[in-house]
Structure 1
Amino acid sequence: MSVTAEVSRPIVLSTYADVREALRARDLKQALYDAGGAVMSGALITLHGDEHKLRRRVENRLFRRGTFRYWELTLVPGTIEQSYAPVLADGSTDLVHLGRRTIMYLTALVAGIDPPENTDRADRLEDLARVFSAGATAIHSTRDPAELHAEVTAAMEVFETEFLRPSRERREQLLADLAAGRITEEDLPRDVLTALLRNRAELGVDDGQIRREVAFYLQAGSHSTANLFTHSAHQVFLRMDDPTFAARLDDRRFLQRCVLETLRLNPASPVAWRTAVEDITLRNGMEIPAGSLVELDLKSANTDPAVWGPDGELFDPDRELPDGVPPWGHSFGGGMHACIGMELDGGVQNTGAPDDHEPVFGTVTLMIHALLRSGARPDPANPPRLDSDSKRHNFASYPVVFEEALR
Structure 2
Amino acid sequence: MESEDEFLHTYFSHVSQLCYEKAKELVEKEKEPKGSTTSWSAFLNYLQQLALAEKSYMEIGFLQNKHKSFLRKDNSLKSIYETMKNDLRKLEEQNRQSVAPNNRIQKSSKNIIQYINARINLIDLYDKIYNVGLHKQNRHNEILTQIETVIEKNSEGFTDICLTPAKAVFSLECEILEQLFRALSRLQKLEFSPSLALIHGAHTRLIAWENKIQSREIWKLGIFKNSPSPALFQWFQKLKGAVLSKFSLFFHDILAQQTTPNEIRQLCAKLQQDYYQKIITFQKKYDATYVLLLSDQQTLNSPSPNGIIVSYPPRISTSMDLVLKMIADTYSELSMDKIIYKFLSQEQHTYIIATVESTIYLIILFENKKSEKDAYISNFVVEICQNLRCTKTFACLKNTTK
TM-score, structure 2 as length reference: 0.27
Relative to its length, the structure with more helix (as a share) is 2
- Whose radius of gyration is greater, 1 or 2? 2
TM-score, normalised on structure 1?
A: 0.27
Q: Which has the higher contact order (CA 8 A, sep 6+)?
A: 1
